[in-house]
A and B are shown apart, each in its own frame.
Chain A
Amino acid sequence: MTFKYDNVYINEVSTITGPYEKKGPLSNYFDKSYDDFYFGKNTWEEAESKILEDSVDLLLNKISKTKFDIDLFISGDLLNQITASNFAANNLKIPYLGIYSACASSVEGLIIASNMLEANQIKNCICSVSSHNNAAEKQFRYPVEYGGPKPKTTTFTTTGAASAYLSREKSKIKVESATIGIVNDLGIKDAYQMGAVMAPAIADTINRHLKDLKRDINYYDIILSGDLGIYGKAILKDYMKIEYGIELNKYEDTACMIYDLDKQPVYSGGSGPACAPLVTYSYIFDLMKKKKLTKVLLVATGSLHSTTSVNEKRSIPSIAHAISLEAII
């Protein structure tokens, strides 16, 4: 399912991160970074809601609007029942849609917003996502202070929140088209192998996107995947070649960009709903505004498991949504 848009723009974005992202190579591109994991709150879950809310406040400040001017707030995160988003929405009091497709939530939000804007149902929208390393570790893996060794293929959930303001007013970043992905499952059961779980979903969505729009892979200046990590990246490149005969040359993975993989203790790279938008909204948008990149395909991908499904030894399904962004000269 692919849509084309004529009149949807991302006017402004905001990015807030935690300490590990601050020490990473993109730290200068973020609007704000914290040195600890609590951000002045009592628990990690509250802290995640806080940065999500902060990122929306920061965004409203940047565009000189108040929350009463906003028609719709779409948000997602990793916590059970997406509580970070729900609690932030409770304070924001903007009409709200909570979404979940794990780490693909960011693009899912952008697609919903773009469709509603294109159909003239709303005049503007804020799309947000957040993730918090400690809150996610506690929920999905082991206690945070537990030091049991993890395999090298493990990814490290990013701490941060990213928000984007979309409207029909012309700006430098245009939402050009988008593809809604289908759920894939090639039988991987290991929750520490997220890259392997999600690579087929990304490949499938890229292929559908190119087919639907009759485009060649070289149409894009760069293809960005969300949170695959170094090993997942290698799997995707091979899989794409074998399964679809597509060579991924101008391709990067946001999980490998947000951290310094040689120096930081982040295993195979970043993950979490915030990973892809944090990199895209900061570093990639900067390149687009400087005209170094014009056509960008962002393919965010999410692993759709729960701790129960993994314990019950069911294989892990995954999904990827793609959105094509263009720099307007």
Chain B
Amino acid sequence: MEKNKYQDLVKKHTPKENRLYNGIIAFITGGIMGVIGQFLIEVYVSYLNISTKEAGTFMIITLIFIGCLLTCFGFFDKWVNFAKAGLFVPITGFAHAMQSAALDYKKEGLVTGIGACMLKLTGSVIIFGVVSAYIFGMIRLLIFGGNI
């Protein structure tokens, strides 16, 4: 059989992912994550007497901590698998990806295991994040000047 004919046959038997359902779930869970984040910011602002900007940083650290902790408890992967983009697009997804890699490789040693492999999934996020921040920063500087 020709390769392209076989690929058609495979396509015929490949199940469709339920995008609408997944989208709705991600929309709702992502929204809930946003509400939790905003709630944390409000709590930090009113109880710690800090600015909203600082409270935002505190909120991110809190969510990262919770994401890592629940990953270590072993059930966060099931939540992420269910909520999909609702949980892995927010900062919890980054924390989860990093922590799960660290857990896998911790027995291969501190340097050769955790140190070398912790960023296996998230390393590219950091690299391309930094590179695109540089590029878009330059574009902004060239078009709007440095004062905005």
Contact = CB atoms under 8 A, between A and B. Distances in A.
B10 A188 contact: yes
B107 A42 contact: yes
A134 to B, nearest CB: 8
B13 A231 contact: yes
A147 B104 contact: no
B28 interface: no
B104 A143 contact: yes
B13 A235 contact: yes
Interface residues of B, number: 36
B53 interface: no
A242 B2 CA distance: 12
B7 A187 contact: yes
B120 A143 contact: yes
A17 to B, nearest CB: 21
Nearest to B7: A187
Contact of B103 (A145, A153, A196): A145
A18 interface: no
Nearest to B85: A149
A249 interface: no
A138 B22 CA distance: 26
Interface residues of A, number: 27
B108 to A, nearest CB: 9
A90 interface: no
Given A152-B17, A153-B15, A200-B6, A144 B103 contact: yes
B96 A193 contact: no
B121 A43 contact: no
16 contacts: A42-B107, A143-B120, A145-B103, A146-B121, A147-B79, A147-B80, A148-B97, A149-B80, A151-B17, A152-B15, A152-B17, A187-B4, A188-B10, A238-B12, A242-B1, A243-B1
Interface of B: 1, 3-4, 6-7, 9-10, 12-15, 17, 22, 71-72, 74, 76-81, 84, 87-88, 96-97, 99-101, 103-105, 107, 120-121
